[in-house]
Amino acid sequence: MKRKLLWVRWAVWLGLQLATGRAAELNVAVADRMRILESYADLKQALGRLNEQEAQQTAQHQQQANRLEALQQAVRQLTLDAQNVVASASEREQAGSKAESMQGELRAAETALKRFDENNRRQITANMQALRQKYFTAVQAQIKAYAAEHHLALILDSSALATQNGVGGVLHADAQLDITAAIIARVNAPAAAATNAPAGLQK
């Protein structure tokens, strides 16, 4: 009976050792996804082009805003002229008629500027969402490919350490586990850049 118990204990111990060995073989790595995106050359170029478009839209907004302000000033002056007791009745009537006729142009300019700004906001939001989807997906694909090639079972996002002060993120990681530089090299490789570039933005 004692011999049987010894065999059972030995089998349990052996099972625990094997389980511990499998756990030790579990390959884990970390990658700073935000640093990867910040170092993504093709993404930088795409963001640069978006910034240029936004600068052009800002200039167009300013032109329309300047025109609107000029119209507002003109209407205010005409309204004052229509109330000027020093001027003749004919001059006051003429100024009042012109101010009234410019009201329609003023409202149209206000509506046009508001619509222009709303369209710009929608376009900027759509463009940023498209870039986010495209490049986050591209980075994720490269991380998965790297994991498969290097037999990594788990890769944690170490950028949570900076954004959350470690709460709910990576509390500590040995430098040897960090594959951020390797992923940056992969996403910036010519073949990857050509594959991951959004439609219409490829060189």
Q: Is residue 121 part of a domain?
A: yes
Residue 198: which pLDDT band, with cuts at 50, 70 and 90? very low
Q: Is residue 202 part of a domain?
A: no
* DSSP codes joined into one string, 126-178: HHHHHHHHHHHHHHHHHHHHHHHHTT-SEEEETTHHHHHTTTTS-----GGGB
More confident residue, 82 or 122: 122
Residue 197's beta-bridge partner residues?
none
- Distance in angstroms (rounded) separating the CA atoms of residues 180 and 156: 11
pLDDT, one tens digit per residue, over 101-142 is: 889 899 999 999 999 999 999 999 999 999 999 999 999 999
Report the 10 Å Cβ neighbour count for 163. 11
Residue 201: which pLDDT band, with cuts at 50, 70 and 90? very low
- Cβ partners under 8 Å of residue 147, min gap 6: 29, 153, 155
Do 202 and 134 touch, CB atoms closer than 8 A?
A: no
What pTM was estimated for this model as a whole?
A: 0.67
Residue 20 has pLDDT above 50, yes or no: no
Q: Is residue 12 part of a domain?
A: no
Q: Is residue 18 part of a domain?
A: no
Q: Is residue 99 part of a domain?
A: yes
User: Could you tell me the residue range of the domain that residue 121 belongs to?
Assistant: 25-196
Residue 23: which pLDDT band, with cuts at 50, 70 and 90? very low
Local structure of 5: helix, strand or coil: helix
How many structural domains does the chain have?
Answer: 1
Q: Is residue 19 part of a domain?
A: no
Residue 14 has pLDDT above 60, yes or no: no
pLDDT value of residue 187: 96
Residue 22 has pLDDT above 60, yes or no: no
Do 197 and 189 touch, CB atoms closer than 8 A?
A: no
- Cβ partners under 8 Å of residue 45, min gap 6: 201
Q: Is residue 14 part of a domain?
A: no
Q: Is residue 37 part of a domain?
A: yes
pLDDT value of residue 4: 52
Local structure of 21: helix, strand or coil: helix
Average pLDDT, the chain: 81
Place of tokens 């118990």: 5
Lowest mean pLDDT among 83-87, 168-172, 190-194: 190-194
Residue 19: which pLDDT band, with cuts at 50, 70 and 90? very low
pLDDT, one tens digit per residue, over 49-79 is: 999 999 999 999 999 999 999 999 999 998 8
